[in-house]
Amino acid sequence: MQVLDGKALAQAIKEELKEEVDAIRQAAGKIPHLAAVLIGENPASQVYVRNKVSSCEEVGFRSSLIRRPESITQSELLAIVTELNEDPDVDGFIVQLPLPKHIDEDAVNLAIDPRKDVDGFTPVNIGRMTLGLDAYLPATPNGIMVMLERYGIETSGKEVVVLGRSNIVGTPMTVLLSRKSSPGNATVTLCHSRTRDLKSHTLRADIIVAAIGIPEMVTADMVKEGAVIIDVGINRVDDASRNRGYRLAGDADYAGLKHKVSAMTPVPGGVGPMTVVSLLMNTLQASKRRG
């Protein structure tokens, strides 16, 4: 089985980005600047944002972290979004999800200027992506597309089953994989919590993209010999043998699948680092556009 090593691939792409930023610096051009908004103390969100900020530093971008407590009101958060929209110094920004329950995530998303939406979550970017126009592509699905391309995994004419219909992963993944491009041109089935007889779908799949959030749900009996597994899930599973009291598990049963499939992403070190790199690529694009 080929391990689709997102960590190594992300590192290689970061080197390329760094070279580009060095060239911009030498030409006295504008250094890309990403801002991240982190609300509350969600431990996983803190890790994700820390990774995003430190990755910016690694490639020579500027980064800003705006932290606010869980108690922030919706109007206070919307005011921060407006400020970032208007700040000429900021090329792109993200508001880390999930937000506290009293805040309407849709309202926050709708307030983000699409030109600075480097997460690719706003209606303008989702719409442009769907029409095949130039857009900031959602970071995780785009990271997966880059991974498929760089690893030379053929998608044209293949049966792809996407598990999960979230706006940030599953649904845009189906759009990107089915459109007329490379990678793309796949026949895509989207499965979700109401899908009947999930196994009948997954057993047909040449490629499975699992974005469900249930640890190790995709097992060897559900997958055909030689399939490719892209595991998006990041789940904390209690593990008393670890110092921190948990381990990270994907949505696929890596140990059970590794003798049956032809290629698979590990968790951690698979899709996660590709998501971060995709965000950096969008930020560089935003910075170039702003000139």
Interface with ligand NAD includes 223 (CB under 6 A)? no
Residues numbered 144 to 163 that lie near ligand NAD (CB under 6 A) are 163
Interface with ligand NAD by CB under 6 A: which range of 23-31, 62-70, 71-79, 164-172?
Answer: 164-172
Q: Which of 14, 96, 116, 117 is catalytic?
A: 96
Interface with ligand NAD by CB under 6 A: which range of 83-91, 107-115, 129-137, 208-216?
Answer: 208-216
**Contact with ligand NAD (CB under 6 A): which of 120, 138, 141, 170?**
170
**Contact with ligand NAD (CB under 6 A): which of 211, 222, 227, 279?**
211
Kindly tell me which of 85 and 195 has the beta carbon lying closer to ligand NAD.
195
Interface with ligand NAD by CB under 6 A: which range of 26-34, 73-81, 148-156, 233-241?
Answer: 233-241
Kindly tell me which of 192 and 260 has the beta carbon lying closer to ligand NAD.
192
Q: What is the 3-state secondary structure (H, E, C) of the chain?
A: CEECCHHHHHHHHHHHHHHHHHHHHHCCCCCCEEEEEEECCCHHHHHHHHHHHHHHHHHCCEEEEEEECCCCCHHHHHHHHHHHHHCCCCCEEEECCCCCCCCCHHHHHHHCCHHHECCCCCHHHHHHHHCCCCCCCCHHHHHHHHHHHHCCCCCCCCEEEEECCCCCCHHHHHHHHHCCCCCCCCEEEEECCCCCCHHHHHCCCCEEEECCCCCCCECHHHCCCCCEEEECCCEEEECCCCCCCEEEECCECHHHHCCCCCEECCCCCCHHHHHHHHHHHHHHHHHHHHC
Q: Does 96 qualify as catalytic in the annotation?
A: yes
Positions in the binding site for ligand NAD (CB under 6 A): 140, 163-166, 168-170, 191-193, 195, 198, 211-214, 232-235, 271-272, 275
State the catalytic residues: 52, 96, 119
